[in-house]
Chains A and B, each alone.
Chain A
Amino acid sequence: MASFKPTKVQFLPKLGEKVTEETLYWKNYKSPVQIKEFGAITKIDFSPLPPHNYAVTASTRIHIYGPHSQEPIRSFTRFRDTAYGGRFRGDGKLLVAGSEEGLIRLFDISGRVALRQFKGHSKAVHMTSFLSDGFRVVSGSDDLSCRVWDVPSAVELSSLTQHTDYIRALAPSKLNPDLFVTGSYDHTVKVFDMRSGSSVMTMQHGHPVECVLLYPSEVLLVSTGGRYVKVWDLLKGGQELVSLKNHHKTVTCACVSSVGNKLLTGSLDRHVKVYNSSYKVAHNFDCDASILSMAIAPDDEALAVGMTNGVLSVRHRRHQKDKETLTSRRRRGPSYQVFVKGKNFAPRQDDFLVSKPVKQYLRKYDKQLKSFEVSKALDTALQTWTRTSKPDVTVAVIIELNRRGTLKNALAGRNEERCFCVLFFRHIFDPRFSRPLLMVGDIVLDLYQQVFHESPVVERLLQRLMEVLGREAELQQELLQVLGILDTLFTSLTPRKEVACVKTLQSISVLKTTDLSQEKRKIYHIYFE
Chain B
Amino acid sequence: MLYIYIYIYIYNIVRCGGSKVNLRPPIISTDSRFLLCASGDLVKVYSTRTEEWLHSLQGHTNQVTGIALNPANHLQVYSCSVDGTVKLWDFIDGILIKTFIIGYPLFAIYVSEKHEGVLFLHVSMATDSKNECFQLVAVHLPKSAEQEVEAKEMSVVSSHISSNPSCTAFGRGGEYIAFARHLQLNVYFFRKQKTCSFSLKATDKKGAKNAFTCIACHPTDDCIATGHEDGKIRLWRNFIHKKEYTYSTQHWHHNAVNTLCFTPEGTHLLSGGIESVLVQWQYGAGNRKEFLPRLGGSILHISVSSDGQLFCTSHSDNKITVIESSFKVCGVIQGLVKGDGVLTDLMIDPRSKALVLNGKPGHLQFYSLLRDKHLYNLDIVQQEYIYEAGLDQFEVVKAAFDIKGSWLATVEERGQKSSDLEFFLKLWAFDERTQSFVLNTTITAAHTDRIISMCFSSSKETTMLVTIAEDGQFKAWCQGADADTQQDQNFWSCDFVGSYHNLKPTNCSFSADSSLLAVSFQEVITIWSPETWEMLTTLCQPPGVIRDLCFGRLSCSKYLLGTTTRNLLCCWNLLTCALEWSSSVEVSKLQPDPLSENVAAFSYQSKHTDVFVFKPSEPRPLFTNKNVCSEKVHRAVFVPREEPLNNCDESSQWLNRSQLYFLTQNMDLLTFSTATEEDRILSSSKQLVIDDSVAVTPFYLLLGKHGQQQQKLNTQSHPAADKPQQPQGSVTIKELLHTPAHVLPAASVLCSMFVNSLLISNTGVQQDPLREEMDSEKEEEDSEEEMEACDSQQELRVQGSVDEVTLKLSKAQERELKRVRKTDFSWMAGLIDSKP
Contacts and interface: CB of A to CB of B under 8 A. Distances in A.
B484 interface: yes
B485 A20 contact: yes
Contacts of A405: 386, 388, 391-392
Nearest to B414: A403
Interface in B290-340: 292-296, 329
A331 interface: no
A513 B447 contact: yes
Contact of B448 (A5, A6, A498, A513): A513
Interface in A1-26: 1-8, 10-11, 18-21
Interface stretch (A105-113, A336-344, A463-471, A502-510): A502-510
B535 interface: yes
Given A404-B386, A405-B392, A2 B445 contact: no
B473 A509 contact: yes
Contacts of B392: 403, 405
Given A18-B485, A499-B534, A502-B498, A403 B447 contact: no
A509 B502 CA distance: 12
A369 interface: yes
B486 A20 contact: yes
A383 interface: no
A2 B383 contact: no
B497 A510 contact: yes
Interface in B432-454: 442, 444-445, 447-448
Contacts of A1: 292-295, 329
B90 to A, nearest CB: 34
Contact of A8 (B293, B382, B445, B498): B382
Of the candidates B296, B494, B496, B497, the one having the most CB atoms from chain A within 10 angstroms of its own CB is B497
Given A1-B295, A403-B394, A499-B535, A506 B496 contact: yes
B294 A499 contact: no
Nearest to A12: B444
A514 interface: yes
B384 interface: yes
A327 B486 CA distance: 29
Contact of A514 (B295, B391, B445, B484): B445
A464 B296 CA distance: 47
B239 interface: no
Q: Looking at chain A's contact residues, is the secondary structure mostly helix, strand, loop, or mixed?
A: loop
B247 interface: no
A6 B499 CA distance: 39
A344 to B, nearest CB: 26
Interface string B468-489: 0000010000000010111000
A72 B457 CA distance: 68
Contacts of A404: 386, 388, 391
A195 B294 CA distance: 88
B701 to A, nearest CB: 23
Nearest to B379: A5
A405 B392 CA distance: 8
A506 B474 CA distance: 11
A1 B321 CA distance: 9
B302 to A, nearest CB: 15
A509 B442 contact: no
Given A18-B485, A510-B494, A4 B473 contact: no
A458 B294 CA distance: 41
A6 to B, nearest CB: 8
A369 B384 contact: yes
Of the candidates B383, B392, B394, B534, the one having the most CB atoms from chain A within 10 angstroms of its own CB is B383
A511 B496 CA distance: 13
Of the candidates A10, A21, A502, the one having the most CB atoms from chain B within 10 angstroms of its own CB is A502
Given A499-B533, A513-B447, A8 B383 contact: yes
Contacts of A498: 535
A405 B389 CA distance: 11
Contact of B294 (A2, A20, A506, A509): A2
Contacts of B295: 1
A369 B391 CA distance: 16
Q: Looking at chain B's contact residues, is the secondary structure mostly helix, strand, loop, or mixed?
A: loop
B383 A403 contact: yes
A370 B484 CA distance: 40
Classify chain A's interface size: 20 to 34
B391 A5 contact: no
A405 B533 CA distance: 43
Contact of B484 (A2, A11, A20): A20
Contacts of A513: 445, 447-448
Interface string A482-519: 00000000000000001100110010011001100000
A5 B383 contact: yes
Interface in B249-308: 292-296
B531 to A, nearest CB: 12
Of the candidates A4, A5, A6, A10, the one having the most CB atoms from chain B within 10 angstroms of its own CB is A5
A369 B384 CA distance: 10
A278 to B, nearest CB: 10
A11 B473 contact: no
A514 B484 CA distance: 20
Interface string B505-542: 00000000000000000000000000001110000000
A21 B497 contact: no
Contacts of A510: 494, 497
Contacts of B486: 20-21
A374 to B, nearest CB: 11
A405 B415 CA distance: 12
A354 to B, nearest CB: 14
A506 B499 CA distance: 9
Of the candidates A8, A10, A403, A503, the one having the most CB atoms from chain B within 10 angstroms of its own CB is A403
Given A5-B384, A499-B533, A10 B494 contact: no
Of the candidates B386, B486, B496, the one having the most CB atoms from chain A within 10 angstroms of its own CB is B386
A506 B498 contact: yes
A355 to B, nearest CB: 14
A369 B383 CA distance: 12
Contacts of A503: 533
A1 B324 CA distance: 13
Given A4-B384, A509-B497, A18 B292 contact: no
Nearest to A513: B448
Contacts of A7: 383-384
Contact of A3 (B292, B294, B473): B294
A510 B533 CA distance: 16
A20 B482 CA distance: 11
Contacts of B442: 10-11
Interface string A383-423: 00000000000000000100111000000000000000000
A369 B534 CA distance: 51
A259 B386 CA distance: 56
Contact of A5 (B382, B388, B393, B447): B382
Contacts of A19: 485
A145 B388 CA distance: 87
Interface string A220-235: 0000000000000000
Contacts of B394: 403
Nearest to A499: B534
Nearest to A11: B442
A373 B353 CA distance: 44
Contacts of B382: 5, 8
Nearest to A515: B445
Contacts of B447: 513
16 contacts: A1-B292, A1-B329, A4-B384, A8-B382, A10-B442, A18-B485, A20-B484, A370-B384, A403-B392, A404-B388, A404-B391, A499-B534, A502-B533, A506-B498, A509-B473, A510-B494
Interface of B: 292-296, 329, 379, 382-384, 386, 388, 391-394, 414, 442, 444-445, 447-448, 473, 482, 484-486, 494, 496-499, 533-535
- A-B pairs, top 7 by smallest CB distance, nearest first, are A506-B497, A5-B384, A1-B329, A2-B294, A18-B484, A404-B386, A405-B391
Given A6-B384, A21-B486, A403-B392, 4 more contacts: A18-B484, A370-B384, A403-B383, A502-B498
